[in-house]
Amino acid sequence: MSRISVRGFAVASATAVTTVGAVVGVASGADQGTSEPVEAAGTTTLLADIPAGQQVQQASLTDQVVAQSDAADATARQAAEQGARKQAAQDAAAKKKAADEAAAKEREKTLAASRGDSRATFPFKASYTVAEVKAMAQQIVGSGQYACFSNIVTRESGWNYLAVNSSSGAYGLVQALPGSKMSSAGSDWQSNPATQIKWGLNYMNVRYGSPCDAWSYWQVHHSY
């Protein structure tokens, strides 16, 4: 039974009782001196004619139906609130997962840039500017170690990939001694700065652990 029908039932019941009360009042008035007889119209039933137990039972049934309707409404509201909370939690979890995945990708990108790419290749040129050589080093060495690598190369060769030490014969950007050592990174070690950078990075990693560790050693000994 819907809420509207329950309320309607309750109102109808109250109306019926009021009507009976009105009839009783008229009858009472007749008893107080009115000489005209009082007749019940149609099927109107006097309140006195309704058994007292039935009146109580009817009122009790109405109260029970209304209470059940109220309880159903409360249950529906509670279910809706629980559903909303569950959906909100699911949405929050999905957003957090997406944010975590995006952050992980960004960290991996940053880490990759920090590590560099020792397998990077570059177009061959007859000559290279200092800016071009530094750009190669940034890509090969990576941002995490580039500053330390640059500090060493700046002091060893001034970023001149054709530099030769007149006294020792050390050669290239990282002043390998002898320069032919760099052939392990490529046969073009004499003219390709990328080959020299790759060899120098590997040398620093193997002997010192990293370019920054090599730079720490250099600062104390002024060589590496």
CA distances from 129 to 14, 125, 136, 175 (A): 102, 10, 11, 18
Q: Smallest Cα–Cα separation from 203: which of 176, 180, 178, 165?
A: 176
Q: Is the pLDDT of residue 26 over 90?
A: no
CB 197 within 8 A of CB 119: no
pLDDT in tens, 56-85: 677 787 888 888 888 888 899 989 998 999
Residues forming a β-bridge with 171: 164, 176
**Predicted confidence band of residue 95 (pLDDT cuts 50, 70, 90):** confident
Q: How many CB atoms lie within 10 A of CB 65?
A: 17
Residue by residue, DSSP assigns 30-90 as: HHTT--S-----TT---GGGS-HHHHHHHHHHHHHHHHHHHHHHHHHHHHHHHHHHHHHHH
Q: What is the mean pLDDT of the chain?
A: 81
84 vs 112, which has greater pLDDT?
Answer: 84
